[in-house]
Amino acid sequence: MGVEIDKKTRMTRQRRVILEEIRKINNHPAADEIYERVRKRLPRISLGTVYRNLDVLCELGEIQRLELSGAMKRYDGVAKKHYHIRCVCCGRVDDAPIAPLNELEDDLYGTTVYEIIGHNLEFTGLCPQCAIARHQRQAAS
């Protein structure tokens, strides 16, 4: 787990439970789904507390906040840089099985006045269930 820096960023019981719940599932949950899972263990926790702690866990580098186009904000318990693929039909998000393309940032370095701090790459497509449903609809018409 991350280093406990000060009172604001120490690993409180609430943060630890939120982090444990995010890391238990691999479906890139939204804050309300995390809240429902955490509430089973901490019945008195509020949605606002979950949101604030998600922000702190992101700042600590324990989790990632995913801001994918066309989708609600989701969270990923894997803090290591990686890409995602999103179903344009149902919104399902999975990890894309490719290594980060760090050479993109290297190629851009020195060719712009911007200080490059990272990049986002999102793949879109149809998840297996939506692809089957689409093919069935096409076959029926």
89 is in an annotated binding site: no
| Position 64 confidence tier, pLDDT thresholds 50, 70, 90 | very high
Q: Which residues contact 67 (CB under 8 A, 6 or more apart)?
A: 73, 120
- Domains of the chain plus CATH, in order, are 1-79 (1.10.10.10), 81-141 (3.30.1490.190)
Examine the pLDDT at 49 and tell me if it is beyond 90. Answer: yes
* Lowest-pLDDT range of 26-40, 79-93, 101-115: 101-115
DSSP per residue over 56-77, as a string? Answer: HHHHTTSSEEE--TTS--EEES
Considering only CA atoms, which of 47, 94, 103, 38 is closest in space to residue 68?
Answer: 94
- Calculate mean pLDDT across residues 89-93: 89
130 is in an annotated binding site: yes
Examine the pLDDT at 65 and tell me if it is beyond 60. Answer: yes
| Position 13 confidence tier, pLDDT thresholds 50, 70, 90 | very high
Identify residue 15 by its one-letter amino acid code.
R
Q: Under DSSP, is residue 126 helix (H, G, I), strand (E, B) or coil?
A: coil
28 is in an annotated binding site: no
